[in-house]
Amino acid sequence: MTSTLPCRADHVGSLLRPSRLKSAGADFEHGRIDSEVLSRIEDQCIREVVAKQEAIGLQAVTDGEFRRSWWHFDYLAGLAGVELAESAQGIQFHGVQTKSERIVVTGQVGFDQHVMLEHFRFLHGVAGVTAKMTIPSPSVLHFRGGRASISKDVYPSLDTFSADTAEAYHQAVQAFYAAGCRHLQFDDTVWAYLCSAKERQAARDRGDDPAPMPRIYADMINHALKHKPEDMVVTTHVCRGNFRSSWIAEGGYEPVAEILLGETAYDGYFLEYDTERAGGFEPLRFLPKGDKRVVLGLVTSKFGELEAKDAIRRRIDEAARFADVDQLCLSPQCGFASTEEGNILTEDQQWQKLGMIVELAGGVWNSQRSAESCEAYRIRADVRRHDPQTANRHRYGERASPLGPRRGLSTRLSTSGLQASADSIAKTRCPARAKHLGTSPRRNAGHPAAEVVSLSGYARCGRARSDASALA
């Protein structure tokens, strides 16, 4: 399909929670306000954050995931047969650990009027541009805990689990479309973890074999996207972990790129590329030519210091060696608050980064940019491919660092020089939690799972609230 989504200037989804929202969440946990008051505060904070996104020029906006505690557990626990439970310890990141919660599959996985449909409807109602919904990928439900987190009584065979999960997501895609969603994003750390030798070994240690996982996950995703409406864009976001500005995995995309980029039915891929942990751009060669887009996550959401604009432009040039620049976009590498705690930077710094992305994308992919300008990017990439020594000198100037002054091809080549380079090349080349409140009877009364953590906020784990309607 031909689409303007994902946008040239985009962002992953989660945003830092304003202090007013955090205070309201704490007041609700301690019983100082009820769910109706909390929902009104959530509504207003979402209206404000949508307005801010639109004001800086973003053409696709989210609700900042303001009604969630986790980027993934909240949605997953809203599926039939899936529960949020206590765990012995939190998820270990470099130097920091999350809350001690986990997801367990206790029944047949299914999708039935998920509370986040109402979350999206609210967002859709207040957005003046495209409203994007983010949910975790089906692969996350399996990989996060592996076989040990999936009931063997319910699922003696993981093949049945995979089929049920894929079908639940197929129904979810259709349901979000019916709710008005035209840009749905599957957030997915799993593909990046499968690029990490350490994480693959961790999977083996818990009794899982990582070797067939890329194919299994691709099949699940493709079933979910089967019969996707033509005017709906479904993308994915892949990163190496994001909690309190820390991370989990490292390793380039090469081990999974051919299947991820070439054999999944996504319309676009938000890929982390803000540090050397993500490797080089070479795997982008597997992106099929056509309408699919890769959103380069070149701006970090982990820290507040602004990147050098010239360095980002050079990185886009480098990526264009392996994928057509017209199939590339720009964003942060991940959200600013994958959990309610958020990363270690200020709201002002967050908005400065997003504003810079809009500015940079406008300069590279301005809608009025001539075809000749597009061709100039392709020529720069081709010159580097055929004369890497000269390209490296031009790319980094006198400093052998990608952060050095922006000199050379991208600024020195005149129109005539570009044409000469093109002529030369032509001759040589081949043609998505509930807050943990213990086991409060107020929240767990009548719940069938004895160890399930109680829910809070806007039924943030996806269980419908009895006292108020769920919002976007």
- The string of pLDDT tens digits covering residues 369-403 is 434 444 554 555 454 445 544 444 433 333 333 33
Mean model confidence pLDDT for the chain: 82
Is residue 468 one of the residues assigned to a domain? no
Instruction: Tell me how crowded residue 252 is: count the other CB atoms within 10 A of its CB.
Output: 19
Calculate mean pLDDT across residues 361-375.
Answer: 63
Q: Give how far Cα 450 sits from Cα of 153, 431, 447, Å.
A: 17, 65, 7
Is the domain of 163 the same as that of 277?
yes
Single out the residue of 272, 281, 329 nearest to residue 302, CA to CA: 272
Percent of the chain past pLDDT 70, that is, above it, reads 77
Residue pair 72/432 in contact (Cβ under 8 Å)? The answer is: yes
pLDDT value of residue 2: 54
- Residue 465 within any structural domain of the chain: no
315 and 294 in a common domain: yes
Say how many C-beta atoms besides its own lie within 10 A of residue 28's C-beta: 21
Q: Are 219 and 306 in a shared domain?
A: yes
Q: Quickly tell me which residue has 């031909």 as its tokens.
A: 2
Q: Are 45 and 21 in contact (CB under 8 A)?
A: yes
Same domain, yes or no: 346 and 401: no
Residues 343 and 388 grouped into a single domain: no
CB 140 within 8 A of CB 195: no
Mean pLDDT of 62-67: 98
- pLDDT, residue 445, reads 34
3-state secondary structure of 183: strand
How many domains, in total, are found in the chain? 2
Domain assignment present for 381 = yes
Instruction: List, as own/partner pairs, every contact residues 39-44 make where C-beta atoms lie below 8 angstroms and the sequence separation is at least 24, other chains included.
Output: 39/458, 39/468, 39/471, 42/66, 42/67, 42/457, 42/458, 42/471, 43/122, 43/471
User: CATH number for the domain including 107?
Assistant: 3.20.20.210
Kindly report whether the global pTM for this prediction surpasses the value 0.85.
Answer: no
Q: What is the pLDDT of residues 268-277, one digit of tens each?
A: 999 999 999 9
Q: Would the pLDDT of 444 be above 50?
A: no
* Residue span of the structural domain in which 425 resides: 373-431
In a domain? residue 410: yes
447-470: pLDDT as tens digits: 333 333 322 332 333 323 223 222
Structure tokens belonging to residue 252: 């380039």
CA–CA gap between residue 55 and residue 173 (Å, rounded) = 29
